[in-house]
């Protein structure tokens, strides 16, 4: 009976958009995270602790604060917002790209932290031995550092994917909740509950739990 009461045409668009947004966000976050984590684990410079604290801020700030800051930075009155509007002939806020940016910002601390732990665990003597026989920095990273840290890197990517999939507050503020355009699973659940459509809310909730469960299960197996 429950399955018959689900509007399947209404069910799939938020799921498809969420997976699209989260996949792109996770790829970009993973790429940025690898670069940032490797740099911070290998370089010493003044103000490093301040920069690392800034990296971790989105983890502890309320989502509404993150969303408000993104709204100020990407809004039509900002330099960044006007540049994107000139580049794409449309404002970036209240578009699915805004949802991608929100997912990147909130997922980055988890990704960065997991990847940095992996790079910190790599034996520096192995890297120095490779350099001593003529290996370039890229070769050291490609053949020694990255393979040895790959489990942590992959775990960070998966955690970032799961976190981006569940992003709500910042996404709602800068991307809105436009069905078929910016409505992701979390915002769809919020609207469904507010409207009393509990069957649809349960359907989206179960989908999110199943996806997140298997992502975290995979992370646990990688850590083992």
Could you tell me which of 112, 136, 140, 111 has the C-alpha nearest to residue 124?
140
* Boundaries of every domain in the chain: 8-223
User: pLDDT value at position 5?
Assistant: 59
What's the pLDDT tens digit per position in 147-179?
999 989 998 998 899 899 988 888 888 988 888
User: pLDDT value at position 6?
Assistant: 67
Instruction: Please give the average per-residue pLDDT across 41-66, as a whole number.
Output: 90
The chain-wide mean pLDDT, for the chain, equals 88
- CA pair distance 17, 19, nearest whole angstrom: 5
* CA 35 to chain CA centroid, nearest Å: 15
- CA pair distance 120, 148, nearest whole angstrom: 10
Location of structure tokens 């449309």: 90
Contact 158, 107 (CB under 8 A): no
Dihedral sign (CA 147, 148, 153, 155): positive
Percent over 90 (pLDDT), the chain: 39
- CA pair distance 201, 185, nearest whole angstrom: 9
Q: What is the CATH T-level fold of the domain 8-223, as seen in this structure?
A: MetI-like fold (1.10.3720)
**Which segment, 26-30, 61-65, 132-136, 198-202, is predicted with the most confidence on average?**
26-30
Q: What Cα–Cα distance (Å) separates residue 85 from each residue in 73, 182, 192?
A: 13, 17, 32
Instruction: Please give the average per-residue pLDDT across 47-63, as a whole number.
Output: 90
Could you tell me which of 170, 222, 219 has the C-alpha nearest to residue 21?
170
Q: What Cα–Cα distance (Å) separates residue 154 from each residue in 14, 33, 148, 157?
A: 26, 11, 11, 5
Q: How many residues does the chain have?
A: 224
Sequence-distant (6+) residues with CB within 8 A of 78 are 72
Sequence-distant (6+) residues with CB within 8 A of 45 are none
Say if residue 192's pLDDT is above 50. yes
What's the pLDDT tens digit per position in 76-90?
888 888 888 888 788
Written as one string, the DSSP assignment of 137-190 is HHHHIIIIIHHHHHHHHHHHHHHHHHHHHT--HHHHHHT---TTTT--HHHHHH
């Amino acid at each position: 009976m429950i399955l018959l009461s689900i509007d399947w045409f209404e069910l799939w668009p938020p799921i498809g958009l969420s997976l699209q947004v989260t996949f792109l966000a996770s790829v970009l976050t993973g790429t940025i995270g690898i670069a940032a984590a490797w740099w911070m684990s290998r370089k010493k410079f003044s103000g490093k602790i301040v920069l690392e604290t800034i990296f971790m801020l989105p983890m502890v700030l309320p989502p509404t604060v993150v969303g408000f800051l993104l709204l100020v930075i990407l809004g039509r009155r900002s330099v960044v917002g006007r540049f994107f509007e000139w580049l794409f002939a449309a404002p970036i806020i209240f578009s699915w790209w805004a949802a991608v940016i929100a997912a990147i910002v909130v997922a980055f601390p988890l990704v960065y932290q997991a990847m940095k732990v992996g790079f910190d665990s790599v034996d520096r003597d192995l890297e120095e031995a490779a350099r001593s026989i003529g290996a370039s920095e890229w070769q050291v990273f490609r053949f020694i550092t990255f393979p040895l840290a790959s489990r942590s890197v992959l775990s960070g990517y998966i955690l970032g994917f799961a976190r981006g999939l569940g992003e709500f507050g910042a996404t709602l503020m800068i991307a809105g909740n436009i069905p078929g355009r910016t409505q992701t699973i979390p915002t769809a659940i919020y609207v469904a509950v507010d409207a009393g459509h509990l069957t649809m809310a349960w359907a989206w909730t179960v989908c999110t739990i199943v996806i997140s469960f298997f992502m975290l299960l995979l992370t646990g197996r990688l850590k083992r």
